[in-house]
Structure 1
Amino acid sequence: MPHVLVLNASYEPLGVVPLRRALVLVLENKALCLEESGAYMHSETRVIPAPSVVRLKRFVRVPYRGPVPLTRRALFARDGGRCMYCGGVATSVDHVIPRSRGGQHRWDNVVAACRRCNHVKADRHLRELGWRLNHQPAPPSGLAWRIIGTGHRDPRWMPYLQPYGAEDAVARIDAPRVS
Protein backbone atom coordinates (compact mmCIF):
# COMPACT_ATOMS: atom_id res chain seq x y z
CA MET A 1 0.00 0.00 0.00
CA PRO A 2 1.36 3.47 -0.88
CA HIS A 3 2.37 5.91 1.82
CA VAL A 4 1.61 9.60 2.18
CA LEU A 5 3.67 12.42 3.68
CA VAL A 6 1.78 14.32 6.40
CA LEU A 7 2.66 17.96 7.03
CA ASN A 8 1.65 20.12 9.95
CA ALA A 9 -0.37 23.29 9.29
CA SER A 10 3.00 25.10 9.27
CA TYR A 11 4.27 22.74 6.49
CA GLU A 12 6.64 21.02 8.93
CA PRO A 13 6.91 17.29 8.12
CA LEU A 14 5.24 15.15 10.78
CA GLY A 15 5.51 11.65 9.40
CA VAL A 16 4.44 9.09 6.85
CA VAL A 17 1.08 7.33 7.02
CA PRO A 18 -0.62 4.67 4.89
CA LEU A 19 -2.79 5.93 2.03
CA ARG A 20 -5.94 4.78 3.81
CA ARG A 21 -5.20 6.96 6.87
CA ALA A 22 -4.45 9.97 4.65
CA LEU A 23 -7.74 9.51 2.79
CA VAL A 24 -9.63 9.44 6.10
CA LEU A 25 -7.93 12.72 7.12
CA VAL A 26 -8.93 14.35 3.82
CA LEU A 27 -12.49 12.98 3.83
CA GLU A 28 -13.05 14.08 7.44
CA ASN A 29 -11.89 17.57 6.39
CA LYS A 30 -8.92 17.47 8.78
CA ALA A 31 -6.32 17.73 6.02
CA LEU A 32 -5.86 19.19 2.56
CA CYS A 33 -4.36 17.27 -0.33
CA LEU A 34 -1.31 19.20 -1.61
CA GLU A 35 0.02 16.63 -4.08
CA GLU A 36 -1.78 13.82 -5.85
CA SER A 37 -0.17 10.47 -6.64
CA GLY A 38 -1.88 10.07 -10.02
CA ALA A 39 -4.01 7.12 -8.88
CA TYR A 40 -7.70 7.34 -8.03
CA MET A 41 -9.71 5.79 -5.23
CA HIS A 42 -13.25 4.70 -6.11
CA SER A 43 -16.30 4.33 -3.92
CA GLU A 44 -19.86 3.66 -4.98
CA THR A 45 -20.60 7.33 -5.48
CA ARG A 46 -17.24 9.14 -5.63
CA VAL A 47 -13.89 9.11 -7.33
CA ILE A 48 -11.13 10.71 -5.26
CA PRO A 49 -7.53 11.34 -6.36
CA ALA A 50 -5.13 9.48 -4.07
CA PRO A 51 -2.96 11.96 -2.15
CA SER A 52 0.83 11.86 -2.00
CA VAL A 53 1.23 14.83 0.38
CA VAL A 54 -1.38 16.14 2.81
CA ARG A 55 -1.31 19.15 5.15
CA LEU A 56 -3.27 19.23 8.38
CA LYS A 57 -5.71 22.14 8.67
CA ARG A 58 -5.00 22.70 12.37
CA PHE A 59 -1.55 23.01 13.90
CA VAL A 60 -0.53 19.98 15.96
CA ARG A 61 1.98 20.59 18.72
CA VAL A 62 4.65 17.90 18.54
CA PRO A 63 6.78 17.21 21.62
CA TYR A 64 10.56 17.14 21.28
CA ARG A 65 11.45 13.87 19.59
CA GLY A 66 15.16 13.64 20.38
CA PRO A 67 17.73 12.20 18.00
CA VAL A 68 16.78 10.02 15.05
CA PRO A 69 16.29 6.47 16.36
CA LEU A 70 18.84 3.90 15.21
CA THR A 71 16.90 1.32 13.22
CA ARG A 72 18.02 -1.05 10.50
CA ARG A 73 15.87 0.76 7.94
CA ALA A 74 17.24 4.19 8.93
CA LEU A 75 20.82 2.85 8.88
CA PHE A 76 20.38 1.45 5.36
CA ALA A 77 18.85 4.78 4.29
CA ARG A 78 21.80 6.70 5.77
CA ASP A 79 24.33 4.44 4.00
CA GLY A 80 22.33 4.26 0.77
CA GLY A 81 21.98 0.47 0.98
CA ARG A 82 25.70 0.13 0.22
CA CYS A 83 28.49 -1.61 2.09
CA MET A 84 30.64 1.00 3.80
CA TYR A 85 33.73 -1.14 3.26
CA CYS A 86 33.57 -2.23 -0.40
CA GLY A 87 30.58 -0.33 -1.84
CA GLY A 88 28.63 -3.48 -2.70
CA VAL A 89 25.00 -4.11 -1.87
CA ALA A 90 24.58 -4.12 1.91
CA THR A 91 22.63 -6.92 3.53
CA SER A 92 23.73 -6.71 7.16
CA VAL A 93 24.68 -4.37 9.98
CA ASP A 94 28.25 -4.22 11.29
CA HIS A 95 29.81 -2.55 14.31
CA VAL A 96 33.02 -0.73 13.33
CA ILE A 97 34.43 -1.35 16.81
CA PRO A 98 33.00 -4.79 17.63
CA ARG A 99 30.68 -5.02 20.61
CA SER A 100 32.82 -7.86 21.92
CA ARG A 101 35.65 -5.30 22.19
CA GLY A 102 33.67 -2.57 23.88
CA GLY A 103 31.99 -0.98 20.86
CA GLN A 104 28.63 0.67 21.40
CA HIS A 105 25.46 0.25 19.35
CA ARG A 106 25.38 3.92 18.26
CA TRP A 107 25.13 5.82 14.99
CA ASP A 108 28.86 6.61 14.96
CA ASN A 109 29.82 2.92 15.36
CA VAL A 110 27.29 1.11 13.15
CA VAL A 111 27.48 0.77 9.36
CA ALA A 112 25.75 -1.18 6.62
CA ALA A 113 27.90 -4.01 5.24
CA CYS A 114 27.69 -6.73 2.63
CA ARG A 115 27.65 -10.33 3.79
CA ARG A 116 31.21 -11.00 2.60
CA CYS A 117 32.79 -7.99 4.33
CA ASN A 118 30.85 -8.61 7.53
CA HIS A 119 32.01 -12.25 7.57
CA VAL A 120 35.67 -11.40 6.85
CA LYS A 121 35.77 -8.58 9.39
CA ALA A 122 34.08 -10.68 12.11
CA ASP A 123 35.04 -9.13 15.48
CA ARG A 124 38.28 -7.47 14.42
CA HIS A 125 39.24 -3.81 14.22
CA LEU A 126 39.63 -2.19 10.81
CA ARG A 127 43.33 -1.51 11.38
CA GLU A 128 43.95 -5.25 11.93
CA LEU A 129 42.64 -5.88 8.40
CA GLY A 130 44.10 -2.74 6.83
CA TRP A 131 40.62 -1.59 5.83
CA ARG A 132 39.11 1.87 5.87
CA LEU A 133 35.58 3.23 5.71
CA ASN A 134 34.24 4.98 2.61
CA HIS A 135 32.53 7.53 4.90
CA GLN A 136 32.87 8.16 8.60
CA PRO A 137 29.61 7.07 10.27
CA ALA A 138 27.66 9.84 12.00
CA PRO A 139 24.16 10.28 13.30
CA PRO A 140 21.76 11.80 10.77
CA SER A 141 20.23 15.15 11.65
CA GLY A 142 17.19 17.12 10.58
CA LEU A 143 13.49 16.41 10.35
CA ALA A 144 13.86 15.01 6.85
CA TRP A 145 15.74 11.99 8.26
CA ARG A 146 12.67 11.04 10.27
CA ILE A 147 10.81 10.71 6.97
CA ILE A 148 13.58 9.27 4.79
CA GLY A 149 14.60 6.87 7.56
CA THR A 150 11.22 5.15 7.26
CA GLY A 151 12.39 3.73 3.95
CA HIS A 152 9.51 5.36 2.05
CA ARG A 153 10.53 7.97 -0.49
CA ASP A 154 8.51 9.74 -3.12
CA PRO A 155 10.00 12.42 -5.39
CA ARG A 156 6.86 14.54 -4.87
CA TRP A 157 7.83 14.89 -1.19
CA MET A 158 11.19 16.58 -1.83
CA PRO A 159 9.95 20.20 -2.15
CA TYR A 160 8.35 19.85 1.30
CA LEU A 161 11.40 18.17 2.87
CA GLN A 162 14.16 20.38 1.41
CA PRO A 163 13.94 23.09 4.10
CA TYR A 164 14.49 20.35 6.71
CA GLY A 165 17.70 18.82 5.34
CA ALA A 166 16.35 16.49 2.66
CA GLU A 167 18.93 17.54 0.08
CA ASP A 168 21.77 16.54 2.40
CA ALA A 169 20.03 13.27 3.23
CA VAL A 170 19.28 12.36 -0.38
CA ALA A 171 22.76 13.40 -1.54
CA ARG A 172 24.27 11.16 1.13
CA ILE A 173 22.01 8.26 0.14
CA ASP A 174 22.43 8.63 -3.63
CA ALA A 175 26.17 9.43 -3.58
CA PRO A 176 28.25 7.07 -5.73
CA ARG A 177 30.44 4.75 -3.70
CA VAL A 178 34.10 4.02 -4.35
CA SER A 179 34.81 0.31 -4.71
Structure 2
Amino acid sequence: MGKVLVLNASYEPLNITSWRRAAVLIIKGKAERVEHNGKTLYSDFLLPTVIRLRYYVRVPYKEIPLTRRNILHRDSYTCQYCGYTGDELTLDHVIPRSRKGGETWENMVTACVRCNVKKGNRTPKEASMPLRNSPRRPYSSLYFEVSKHLKSGMHAEWQKYVIGL
Protein backbone atom coordinates (compact mmCIF):
# COMPACT_ATOMS: atom_id res chain seq x y z
CA MET A 1 0.00 0.00 0.00
CA GLY A 2 2.94 2.34 0.47
CA LYS A 3 5.14 4.28 2.81
CA VAL A 4 4.15 7.26 4.94
CA LEU A 5 6.26 10.31 5.79
CA VAL A 6 6.14 11.10 9.53
CA LEU A 7 6.44 14.76 10.52
CA ASN A 8 7.18 16.13 13.97
CA ALA A 9 4.66 18.52 15.54
CA SER A 10 6.79 21.30 13.99
CA TYR A 11 6.30 19.78 10.47
CA GLU A 12 9.95 18.65 10.40
CA PRO A 13 10.39 15.24 8.71
CA LEU A 14 11.24 12.53 11.27
CA ASN A 15 11.16 9.24 9.41
CA ILE A 16 9.30 7.01 6.98
CA THR A 17 6.97 4.33 8.29
CA SER A 18 4.52 1.76 6.97
CA TRP A 19 0.90 2.61 6.26
CA ARG A 20 -0.14 0.20 9.06
CA ARG A 21 1.93 1.98 11.70
CA ALA A 22 0.65 5.35 10.46
CA ALA A 23 -2.97 4.14 10.69
CA VAL A 24 -2.40 2.96 14.28
CA LEU A 25 -0.91 6.34 15.25
CA ILE A 26 -3.94 8.14 13.78
CA ILE A 27 -6.48 5.81 15.40
CA LYS A 28 -4.77 6.18 18.80
CA GLY A 29 -4.85 9.96 18.43
CA LYS A 30 -1.07 10.34 18.48
CA ALA A 31 -0.92 11.71 14.94
CA GLU A 32 -3.07 13.45 12.38
CA ARG A 33 -3.36 12.87 8.65
CA VAL A 34 -1.84 15.73 6.64
CA GLU A 35 -1.86 14.23 3.11
CA HIS A 36 -3.59 11.25 1.54
CA ASN A 37 -3.72 9.62 -1.88
CA GLY A 38 -7.44 8.90 -2.02
CA LYS A 39 -7.13 5.21 -1.19
CA THR A 40 -9.20 3.97 1.73
CA LEU A 41 -8.58 1.37 4.41
CA TYR A 42 -12.29 1.11 5.10
CA SER A 43 -15.23 3.22 3.94
CA ASP A 44 -14.41 6.51 5.71
CA PHE A 45 -10.72 6.09 6.62
CA LEU A 46 -8.42 7.55 3.97
CA LEU A 47 -4.91 6.06 3.90
CA PRO A 48 -2.34 8.74 4.72
CA THR A 49 0.82 9.49 2.79
CA VAL A 50 1.98 12.14 5.29
CA ILE A 51 1.15 12.27 9.01
CA ARG A 52 2.09 14.77 11.74
CA LEU A 53 2.66 13.83 15.36
CA ARG A 54 0.51 15.79 17.81
CA TYR A 55 3.39 16.20 20.29
CA TYR A 56 6.94 17.36 19.59
CA VAL A 57 9.60 14.62 19.73
CA ARG A 58 13.22 15.62 20.37
CA VAL A 59 15.49 13.83 17.90
CA PRO A 60 19.24 13.45 18.54
CA TYR A 61 21.63 14.46 15.76
CA LYS A 62 22.86 11.49 13.75
CA GLU A 63 26.04 11.69 11.66
CA ILE A 64 25.77 10.35 8.11
CA PRO A 65 28.68 8.05 7.27
CA LEU A 66 30.94 9.12 4.41
CA THR A 67 30.78 6.07 2.15
CA ARG A 68 31.07 5.46 -1.58
CA ARG A 69 27.42 4.48 -1.73
CA ASN A 70 26.27 7.65 0.06
CA ILE A 71 28.38 9.91 -2.18
CA LEU A 72 27.02 8.20 -5.30
CA HIS A 73 23.48 8.64 -3.99
CA ARG A 74 24.07 12.31 -3.04
CA ASP A 75 25.32 12.98 -6.60
CA SER A 76 22.42 11.00 -8.16
CA TYR A 77 24.84 8.45 -9.69
CA THR A 78 25.98 11.15 -12.15
CA CYS A 79 29.46 12.38 -13.07
CA GLN A 80 29.79 15.86 -11.60
CA TYR A 81 32.00 16.97 -14.49
CA CYS A 82 30.29 15.73 -17.68
CA GLY A 83 26.89 14.43 -16.53
CA TYR A 84 27.49 10.77 -17.48
CA THR A 85 25.23 8.26 -15.74
CA GLY A 86 26.18 4.62 -15.96
CA ASP A 87 28.09 1.79 -14.37
CA GLU A 88 31.66 3.08 -14.63
CA LEU A 89 31.60 5.73 -11.89
CA THR A 90 34.43 6.49 -9.48
CA LEU A 91 35.01 8.92 -6.65
CA ASP A 92 37.17 11.99 -7.23
CA HIS A 93 38.85 14.30 -4.72
CA VAL A 94 38.12 17.89 -5.80
CA ILE A 95 41.36 19.00 -4.16
CA PRO A 96 43.72 16.04 -4.76
CA ARG A 97 44.97 14.07 -1.76
CA SER A 98 48.56 14.94 -2.76
CA ARG A 99 47.65 18.59 -2.12
CA LYS A 100 46.25 17.90 1.33
CA GLY A 101 42.68 17.39 0.09
CA GLY A 102 40.93 15.25 2.67
CA GLU A 103 38.19 12.68 2.53
CA THR A 104 35.24 14.90 3.41
CA TRP A 105 31.74 15.42 2.03
CA GLU A 106 32.85 18.79 0.66
CA ASN A 107 35.91 17.39 -1.17
CA MET A 108 34.57 14.21 -2.82
CA VAL A 109 32.36 13.90 -5.89
CA THR A 110 31.18 11.23 -8.27
CA ALA A 111 33.12 11.15 -11.57
CA CYS A 112 33.23 8.87 -14.58
CA VAL A 113 36.54 7.12 -15.25
CA ARG A 114 37.23 9.30 -18.27
CA CYS A 115 36.81 12.59 -16.37
CA ASN A 116 38.70 11.32 -13.34
CA VAL A 117 41.71 10.41 -15.51
CA LYS A 118 41.46 13.66 -17.50
CA LYS A 119 41.40 15.78 -14.30
CA GLY A 120 44.29 13.84 -12.84
CA ASN A 121 46.21 15.48 -10.04
CA ARG A 122 44.76 18.95 -10.62
CA THR A 123 41.94 21.04 -9.23
CA PRO A 124 38.82 21.46 -11.40
CA LYS A 125 39.88 25.05 -12.17
CA GLU A 126 43.37 23.99 -13.30
CA ALA A 127 41.88 21.25 -15.48
CA SER A 128 39.18 23.60 -16.88
CA MET A 129 36.54 21.14 -15.68
CA PRO A 130 33.91 23.01 -13.63
CA LEU A 131 31.72 21.03 -11.26
CA ARG A 132 28.02 20.80 -12.09
CA ASN A 133 27.09 20.87 -8.38
CA SER A 134 29.19 21.91 -5.42
CA PRO A 135 29.73 18.99 -3.06
CA ARG A 136 28.13 19.42 0.38
CA ARG A 137 27.30 17.45 3.50
CA PRO A 138 23.71 16.10 3.38
CA TYR A 139 21.21 17.62 5.80
CA SER A 140 20.16 14.41 7.55
CA SER A 141 20.09 10.65 7.24
CA LEU A 142 16.41 10.93 6.34
CA TYR A 143 17.57 12.94 3.30
CA PHE A 144 18.68 9.79 1.50
CA GLU A 145 15.51 7.82 2.11
CA VAL A 146 13.14 10.66 1.24
CA SER A 147 15.07 11.63 -1.88
CA LYS A 148 14.77 8.05 -3.22
CA HIS A 149 10.99 8.24 -2.95
CA LEU A 150 10.84 11.72 -4.49
CA LYS A 151 13.08 10.78 -7.43
CA SER A 152 10.95 7.71 -8.14
CA GLY A 153 7.92 9.99 -8.44
CA MET A 154 5.90 7.88 -6.00
CA HIS A 155 5.44 10.53 -3.31
CA ALA A 156 5.54 13.97 -4.94
CA GLU A 157 3.40 15.35 -2.08
CA TRP A 158 6.38 14.89 0.29
CA GLN A 159 8.36 17.61 -1.53
CA LYS A 160 6.77 20.53 0.31
CA TYR A 161 7.82 19.09 3.69
CA VAL A 162 11.49 18.54 2.82
CA ILE A 163 13.97 21.40 2.51
CA GLY A 164 16.89 21.16 0.10
CA LEU A 165 15.67 18.35 -2.16
Q: 1:134 is aligned with what amino acid? A: R
What's the counterpart of residue 112 of structure 1? 110
- The alignment's TM-score, normalised by the length of structure 1, stands at 0.64
1:1-179 correspondence runs (5 A): 2-41=2-41, 48-63=45-60, 65=61, 68-70=64-66, 74-89=70-85, 91=87, 92-96=89-93, 103-114=101-112, 117=115, 120=117, 124-127=120-123, 130=127, 132=129, 133-141=131-139, 146-150=141-145, 151-153=148-150, 154-161=155-162, 166=163, 169-170=164-165
Aligned-partner Cα distance in 2 for 1:57–1:19? 18
The RMSD of aligned alpha carbons is: 3.5
The runs of 5 or more residues in structure 2 that have no matched partner are none
Task: Give a deviation string over 1:131-175, Cα, whole Å, max 9, x none.
Answer: 62323322234xxx54432222232122323xxxx2xx23xxxxx
Cα deviation digits, residues 60-114 of structure 1 (max 9, x gap): 1223x15555455653454244210210215545031566986533211222234
Gaps of 5+ in 1: 171-179
Report the residue type matching 1:7 in the other structure: L
Distance 2:144 2:56 in 1: 24
Identity of aligned residues (%): 40
Conserved 8 A contact 1:32-1:57: yes
SS across alignment from 1:152: helix
Rate the CA distance shift 1:47–1:85 in 2: closer, same or farther, 3 A: same
Letter of the 1:13 counterpart: P
Mapped to 2, the partners of 1:3 and 1:28 lie a distance apart of 19
Q: Assess, with a 3 A threshold, how the Cα gap between structure 1 residues 80 and 34 changes in structure 2: closer, same or farther.
A: same
Residues paired across the two proteins, number: 155
Contact in 2 for aligned 1:83/1:113 (Cα 8 Å)? yes
- The question of whether the paired residues in 2 share the 8 Å contact of 1:19 and 1:51 is answered with yes
The AA in structure 2 aligned to 1:152 is: H
Contact 2:62 2:141 (8 Å CA) reproduced:
no
CA contact (8 A) 2:63 2:141 kept: no
Q: TM-score, normalised by structure 2?
A: 0.69
SS in 1 for 2:71: helix
